A = this chain, B = another copy of it.
């Protein structure tokens, strides 16, 4: 059974603390240099180099050279989804052992809002998902999500175009938020929503991480469009 070996090999790649830290550091979908990733994982550059080579060889990472820098990023959204899946199990399945620990990121700002590869996560994302469901623009179940007929107008008005491949409403999925333990919106719709919020200046990235800060315009926008009260970040 060749696939079982492949399963173990892939999991083992993620199963090293240093590599896991580097992969997690790339979960925001952006590319970073080997040096940055080494620092992030708490190892020396030469050790990181070896890890990065193996991850790239296995197809988990993609590398791009730019002058004397080499930028590494996740090879595809599928990789990020796999990592999300493992994280969900890691945080959720562990029984008594780590019940004492607090879940998810310690940083309050990161709990409030962050990116999860290409979509929004954190309290903000969960609140938006709840609001969209409550307003009937979105349906969300444990295994899928879809924009309603009414929802198409809503998203168009936000500046998110509704492409129509097939019948076109199936491009949304739930993603278990690891600080909130409740689903938020991922998939194509989640990515578009995240992009649009950045475009509108409703949120901006905090330097060097996945954390997002809600701007004053964002606080107003989320209140007016979604009926959600989000405090602007200081």
Contacts and interface: CB of A to CB of B under 8 A. Distances in A.
A82 B83 CA distance: 9
A142 B188 contact: yes
Interface in A8-35: 8-17, 19-21, 23-24
A6 interface: yes
Interface stretch (A44-52, A154-162, A170-178): A170-178
Interface in A44-71: 57-60
Contact of A171 (B15, B90, B106, B142): B142
Interface residues of A, number: 74
Interface string A152-191: 0000000000000111011111000010000000111100
A75 interface: yes
A6 B94 CA distance: 9
Given A11-B86, A187-B144, A188-B143, A60 B3 contact: no
Given A11-B13, A14-B15, A143-B187, 17 more contacts: A1-B21, A3-B87, A3-B90, A3-B104, A6-B87, A12-B14, A12-B15, A12-B16, A57-B95, A59-B93, A81-B85, A82-B88, A85-B86, A139-B170, A141-B170, A142-B187, A144-B146
